[in-house]
Amino acid sequence: MNKMIFKFSSVTYAMRAKEVAENLGARAEVKKNPRPAKNEGCGYRLTVTGNPDRIVTAFDLNRIRYISYEMV
């Protein structure tokens, strides 16, 4: 199990991503991005614990638009 952080501009996508991740058995939590980049302003992040490949594939299949992700 790996921990990943996905960045989103829209909370709606972050919440949909959370559901998709949880349907795969992952643990996921939506929070506001505590350290937005200087040129981004407000945004959200989803912290997911699960299988990274499956989660990224599922997000792509579900047309979930995220800004970026990183492994932590």
Partner 1 sequence: MIYLDNSATTYPKPKSVAEAAMTAFTACGGNAGRGDYEMAIRTTESIYNCRKKAALFFNSPYCENVIFTQNCTAALNTAVKGLARNGSHFVISDLEHNAVLRPLYKLKEMGMCDFSVAEVASDERATVNNFKKCIRKNTVAFICTGASNVFGIIPPYRALSEAAHENNLLFIMDAAQLAGVREIDIQNDGIDILCCAAHKGLYAPAGTGFMVLGENVRLNTLLEGGTGSNSASPRQPEVLPDRFESGTPNVPGILGLSAGFDFVNKKGVENIFRHETRLMRYLQKNIESNGKVIIYTDFFDGIRRAPILSFNIKGLHSEETAQQLSKDGIAVRAGLHCAPLAHKKMKTEDTGAVRISPSAFTDKNDIDFLINSVQKIAK
Which DSSP helix (H) or strand (E) runs through 20?
helix 11-23
Q: Which residue type, as a one-letter code, is found at position 60? A: D
Is 41 one of the binding residues for partner 1 (CB under 8 A)? yes
Residue from 1, 2, 12, 25 binding partner 1 (CB under 8 A): 12
Is 60 one of the binding residues for partner 1 (CB under 8 A)? no
> Residue 30 CB, nearest distance to partner 1 (Å)?
7
Is 11 one of the binding residues for partner 1 (CB under 8 A)? yes
The closest of 2, 4, 6 to 45, measured between CA atoms, is 6
Total binding residues toward partner 1, as defined by CB under 8 A: 20
* DSSP-based three-state secondary structure for 18: helix
